[in-house]
Amino acid sequence: MRSWLGAGLLALVLVAAPLKQVFASALTQVGVLYPQDEFLLSFGVSGLVADVLVKPGHKVRAGQPLVRLDTQLQEVEQQRRRLIVDDQVEQDVLTQRLAVLTGQLQRAEQLFAQSRSISLDDLERLRLEHITLEGRLLQLQNEKRLAQLEYQAVQLDIALHSLRAPADGQVIEVQPSRGEWARQGEPVLRLVNISQLRLKLNVPDGLARRLVAEQAISVNIEGQQTVMGALVFISPVADPASGLVELHINLANPDGVLRPGSKASINLEHLQ
């Protein structure tokens, strides 16, 4: 009788152990770590690659130049536009002529009003010349403004030939080499910032309804270490097939110890 009871108890223990593991597994939801910032960079213009300033693995700062296209033609055009903007000779001459002509016109109008010692035709000719000169000076000033805008446009075009980091991060992939042709809009460099990671996973709808934004959640990284994260996104829509809701959890990773692409999990039992 005792032997029968002992055998039964042993069988229950053997069955309970895997059931416990299955139950624990059901309470664990697994997701994948993603970099919070990931950039696939391309040029806004096409051109010949002149310099590749970084390699995969390099850490860069926001605004740092990464790849440069050849700008020899644009630089020549920039110099030409600069000369036009800086050239003040004609404008200075016209300004001086206008000042002299203004004095002549004022004296002529006084003479005509006082003694008629100047003919009306001569007076009208001076007035017309004064109007013409004023118009030419105004036109030249507008041309200078246009030249300044065109000079700024060339500067912007040159800036478009330099690919800069939009944020701090680490270079993962560089496509072109020096001397190759880079096409407008085609990816040439991949940059990620892993100082902040985001865990994306799915949980049952019933549990998601009890969670709140910015809630602190314990995250297990592939069974090796546990870190605390902040819940930043709860999808307002559940998957109609599975009834699961997507969550996003932000994790601080200042030392770069956690690797994007790794799996991580949360225990639903702790969130009940």
Say if residue 219's pLDDT is above 80: yes
Say if residue 25's pLDDT is above 70: no
Q: How many residues does the chain have?
A: 272
Task: Give pLDDT tens digits for 140-168.
Answer: 888 889 989 999 999 999 999 999 999 99
Is residue 95 very low, low, confident or very high in pLDDT (cuts 50, 70, 90)?
A: confident
Calpha distance 74→45 (Å, rounded): 12
Instruction: Please give the class, per CATH, of domain 29-68+174-271.
Output: mainly beta
Q: Where are the domains of the chain?
A: 29-68+174-271, 72-160
Q: Is 177 in contact with 9 (CB distance < 8 Å)? A: no
pLDDT at 3: 54
Say if residue 22's pLDDT is above 60: no
Helix (H) or strand (E) holding 207: helix 205-208
Q: Is 247 in contact with 230 (CB distance < 8 Å)? A: no
pLDDT at 271: 61
Helix (H) or strand (E) holding 122: helix 120-160
Q: Which residues contact 137 (CB under 8 A, 6 or more apart)?
A: 91, 94, 95, 98
Calpha distance 217→272 (Å, rounded): 12
Calpha distance 89→217 (Å, rounded): 72
Q: What is the mean pLDDT of residues 42-63?
A: 95
Q: Which residues pair with 181 in a beta bridge?
A: 48
The Cβ of residue 249 has, within 10 Å, a number of other Cβ atoms equal to: 25
The Cβ of residue 15 has, within 10 Å, a number of other Cβ atoms equal to: 10
Task: Give pLDDT tens digits for 166-191.
Answer: 999 999 999 989 999 999 999 999 99
Mean pLDDT of the chain: 86
